[in-house]
Amino acid sequence: MADSVSKPIYLQTILELTYGQNREQVANNQIAEHLHVTPSSVSNMMAKLQESGEVDVEPYYGVTLTPKGQQLALRLTRIHRLMEVFFSEKLNLSSTHAYANAIHFDHHADEILLTALDDFLNHPTTCPHGLPIPDANYNWEIPPHRILNTLPDGTEFTIIGANEDVELLEYLELMGVTINSTWKFIGRMPFSGPLVIESLSSGQQIQISDHAAHYIYTN
């Protein structure tokens, strides 16, 4: 993604990286990595968002959304994820393509379109990547979850969500890791290597990088 990323996308990214924990701090380098922009671009945008009252910046620690920023981020996230559902379920796009295209449409939708789309889709609660969709009052329920790279060896688990990063989604698609698939955590390869997981349906073992596993949510 280019360094000309818009303010709404930054707000959505901060919300997503905290998985809804609005007082959790997000480091600038996390945001830069997620959006594929330079750290200086993030610093410049955080200064603008702080000036507009949408984030609190604590130097050397990270940023948090203010109530104003949280409300806007929830609205944008609701629009974006409803459009993802529409593109995926009604236009038969892959979940990765649904995400990539929703970015181009979501920031300008008004409440009339949003309500009509929600009704048409029968009020979905999650997007194609398993992430929760805020309701009409911009409330959402974050399901109990664990992060894949924190599981003990031998744990059986179900994939319930994955962070919305186009490179991560393409990676998971390539590896055959899908929402609601069931796996067993075998262990880590030596020398801080990748994680080995085994499909409970096919018995196939695959390796997932530790970095990717940090953004995959399980039950």
Domains 7-65 and 146-218 belong to one CATH topology: no
Categorize the per-residue pLDDT at 4 as very low, low, confident or very high, splitting at 50, 70 and 90. low
DSSP for 30-62 reads: HHHHHHT--HHHHHHHHHHHHHTTSEEEETTTE
CB-side neighbour CA atoms (13 Å) of 99: 18
Q: Tell me, what's the pLDDT at 141? A: 84
- Per-residue pLDDT averaged across 215-219, rounded? 94
Dist CA 107 CA 122 (whole Å): 22
3-state SS of the chain: helix, strand, coil percent to 5? 40, 20, 40
Per-residue b/e over 25-44, b at no fewer than 16 CB within 10 Å?
bbebebbbbbbebeeebbee
Per-residue pLDDT tens over the stretch 108-144: 778 898 999 999 999 999 999 999 999 999 888 888 8
pLDDT, averaged across the chain = 90
Answer CATH for 7-65 from 3.30.465.10, 1.10.10.10, 3.40.50.2300, 1.20.140.10: 1.10.10.10
Neighbouring residues of 164: CB distance < 8 A, sequence distance ≥ 6: 16, 99, 127, 129, 131
Dist CA 23 CA 19 (whole Å): 11
What are the domain boundaries of the chain?
7-65, 146-218
Q: Which residue has the higher pLDDT, 151 or 109?
A: 151
Please, what CATH class does the domain formed by 146-218 belong to? mainly beta
Per-residue pLDDT tens over the stretch 10-32: 999 999 888 766 567 899 999 99
Q: Tell me, what's the pLDDT at 46? A: 95
